[in-house]
Chain A
Amino acid sequence: MKPRVAVHKFSSCDGCQLAFLNMGEELITLTRLIELVHFAEAGLVNEDAPVDIAFVEGSVSTPHEVERILRVREHSRFVVSLGACATAGGIQALRNMADTGRWLAGVYARPEVIEVLPHSTPVHEHIRVDLELWGCPVNSQQVIEAVRSLLAGAAPVDHRDKLCLECKRRNQVCVLVARGGPCMGPVTRTGCGALCPSLGRDCFGCYGPAENTNTGALGRRFAGFGFVPEEIAQRFLLINNAAEPFHGEGRRWQGDGQ
């Protein structure tokens, strides 16, 4: 029997599910290896079916999602968080630092009818997660690697290296040193293929924090380039704003870097 796989959507932009839908013909190959049982965007609706692997896209941000994520855990052998929202709360976790009620009132005429939690939170804050795939968005290679490893019964490799290593391997000009750009490469996880530096632009940390980072030193380097504390804070508080140590570093610079 083929392993059964589900893809669940929570609060998100749907972009990480495209890691499946953008595979092209490999998607057909993949469906020969596994049986997709729940993947609403692809037409399969069977949310509570027992599965071997459940991919979860999106953060938990409503009372209904809190209840749903518990059911996902109950019905799944492995739970894999797919992307920045599921793994770190996503860009929408920016509201965790604000008064959600006031923001709602700024967008909706009748905020009282909107059911939303004050915080947008990652999946691991609600249930045990077996593998976290970082990235905004994750790419197809990450998904295929995870599926292949789990199918082979091997523990998937957690790629926690810094982006800088990937950038060096590709012989790309250093955006931080050569151009004085506020590049997040020294503290950001590898996995994207060092795309931003390949275009000559600074990394903005969409793959989340790497292992053993020194965010304090990087923040001070940015200050040395002439960036003001608010700009440095916003560097850390972007896509993965709720992930440590980005969160703490950003908050520190909001308070002038002391």
Chain B
Amino acid sequence: MSERRDITINVPVLARVEGEGTLDLHIVGDRIEQLRLRIFEPPRLFEKFLEGRGYRDVPDMVARICGICPVAYQMSAVHAIEQAFDMDPGPWVRDMRRLFYCGEWLQSHALHIHLLAAPDFLGFVTAVAMAEKFPEEVRRGLHLQELGNAIIRLLGARSVHPVGARVGGFFHAPRPEDAAALLARLRAALPDAEALVRWVASLPVPDDVQDFTCVSLRQPNEYPMNEGRLVSSHGLDLAIRSYREHFREFHAPHSTALHSSLDDQPYLVGPLARLNLNLDRLPEPVLGNLQATGVRFPSTNMFHSALARAVEIHCALWEAIRLLEGYRPAEPYIEATPRAGVGYGCTEAPRGILWHRFEMDEQGRVVNTDIVPPTAQNQARIEQDLHRSLSAFGLDHAPESLRLRAEMVIRNYDPCISCATHFLHLNLERQ
């Protein structure tokens, strides 16, 4: 007979995630009786106060949903509204939006790897502590993060809540000399990105293979960012407007983040899902550098998410260089022509697909909107992973070890809780 103990732990605030939450864990003997990830970011009700707003305000408003990935919100929104207005801003704007997005991937992924995730794998509490032992690695990471911010500033004047994007394109075209100066800095950092991929591949991660469904966008001939069809590792292939036919959101009472399911099953979005589904869309040098590490993708080890992020840093840097090499200023936007209609936007935020639906009236005001952020989509998957990973880790571990392992599992998803939603108290009950 198993030993029966009653233990309750209350750990205030999960560190190194963007937001706050609680994990309720109830263990009976050698079995998890209940596991609930409770996200209690105070609801800010963006979808409601967007109603009645003119289309010009929308990019500045949706950016405020998330300070870590404002570009993603702006991009999903402008694509949705342009579809509703039946506008096509053309190839220059398309290229610049891709460049803008590269900046956000670089800064967000570099922030996550160095300041949030790597301390887990190397056994430090904070990145500042890690910086004493790994000064070069941390400096390299902060440099890549800054380059991402510099790309966003080129088009958006500042990196948090940038002000350059508008429905129809951008407010300005960067000056060629500014683009050239940035290009030189990005080229100089390519060896850093390659070395980063090798370093992350060498970090000790748990060998934890599991079965899960990946979902991402997919494009005919490029790694997905702003557009594409929705695909899954189980054969789904869907236009973004049909999202609601297969994906469902439900409100679990223990959380302010709405949960999502795909055909009633949890699924994964984000870097690992993207890379697993788009390996053949990586630029050749990026793929080659990854293959040289010996780590094989597609991977079903969730802890390869960090490596996937590093690969996407390399990819984003490579893409940004390509886009800037051909840079010429052009008319930065087309004038919006409001009309009543519905439009959809789905882009690959650093943490995964960010789906928007906007219904507009003939004056160009928002009638209603529907926003599905990536962390909400991952929440059911995180709970599923915790169930599995904690059982595999061993439920007889001391409460402190269980909490650390749970935090590591959760952090691995880079949950951007403010998007949906706050983070981790662990309430552990044992019988």
* Residues of A participating in the B interface, judged by any CB pair closer than 8 Å: 9-19, 21-22, 24-25, 27-28, 31, 36, 40-45, 47, 61-62, 65, 90-92, 94-95, 98, 100, 103-104, 106-110, 113-116, 120, 136-137, 139, 192, 195-196, 198-201, 204, 206, 231, 234, 238-239
Contacts and interface: CB of A to CB of B under 8 A. Distances in A.
15 contacts: A13-B65, A13-B70, A15-B68, A21-B115, A40-B16, A40-B17, A61-B42, A91-B61, A92-B46, A107-B43, A107-B48, A139-B158, A195-B158, A195-B163, A206-B161
B44 interface: yes
Given A41-B16, A43-B125, A108-B251, A25 B142 contact: yes
Given A17-B67, A199-B171, A114 B126 contact: no
A136 to B, nearest CB: 6
A44 B115 CA distance: 11
Given A9-B20, A18-B67, A65 B54 contact: no
Interface string B125-169: 111100100000011001101100100000001111101101000
Residue in B43, B70, B119, B139 whose Cβ sees the most chain A Cβ within 10 Å: B43
Contact of B143 (A19, A24, A106, A116): A24
A91 B126 contact: no
A24 B160 contact: no
Nearest to B141: A24
Given A91-B64, A92-B45, A107-B45, A21 B126 contact: no
Contacts of B149: 22
Residue in A21, A44, A90, A201 whose Cβ sees the most chain B Cβ within 10 Å: A21
B43 A108 contact: yes
A11 B43 CA distance: 8
Nearest to A106: B48
B161 A136 contact: yes
Given A15-B67, A18-B68, A234-B54, A41 B258 contact: no
B299 interface: no
Contact of B13 (A12, A45, A139): A45
Given A43-B126, A44-B125, A91-B64, A22 B160 contact: yes
A104 B45 contact: yes
B205 interface: no
A25 B418 CA distance: 26
B12 A21 contact: no
Contacts of A120: 44
A197 to B, nearest CB: 10
Contacts of B44: 11, 61, 90-92, 95, 120
Interface in B27-81: 40-49, 53-54, 57, 60-61, 64-68, 70
Contacts of A108: 43, 251, 256, 258
Interface residues of B, number: 66
A7 to B, nearest CB: 12
Interface of B: 12-20, 40-49, 53-54, 57, 60-61, 64-68, 70, 107, 111, 115-116, 119, 125-128, 131, 138-139, 142-143, 145-146, 149, 157-161, 163-164, 166, 171-172, 250-251, 253-254, 256, 258, 416, 418, 423
Contacts, number: 178
A176 to B, nearest CB: 16
A42 B16 contact: yes
A45 B161 contact: no
Given A44-B15, A103-B48, A200-B172, 4 more contacts: A16-B160, A104-B45, A120-B44, A234-B53
A113 B126 contact: no
B49 A95 contact: yes
Contacts of A36: 128
A199 to B, nearest CB: 4
A41 B17 contact: yes
Task: In the A-B complex, list the 3 residue pairs whose CB atoms are closest, starting with the nearest.
Answer: A15-B67, A43-B126, A109-B251
A44 B15 CA distance: 6
A167 to B, nearest CB: 13
Contact of A65 (B15, B42, B145): B42
A174 to B, nearest CB: 16
A97 to B, nearest CB: 9
B418 A13 contact: yes
A31 B68 contact: no
Nearest to A241: B49
Contacts of A103: 45, 48-49
Contact of A45 (B12, B115, B250): B12
B67 A14 contact: yes
Contacts of B125: 43-44
A25 B67 CA distance: 20
Contact of B251 (A10, A90, A110): A110
B111 A238 contact: no
Nearest to A137: B160
B54 to A, nearest CB: 7
A137 B163 contact: no
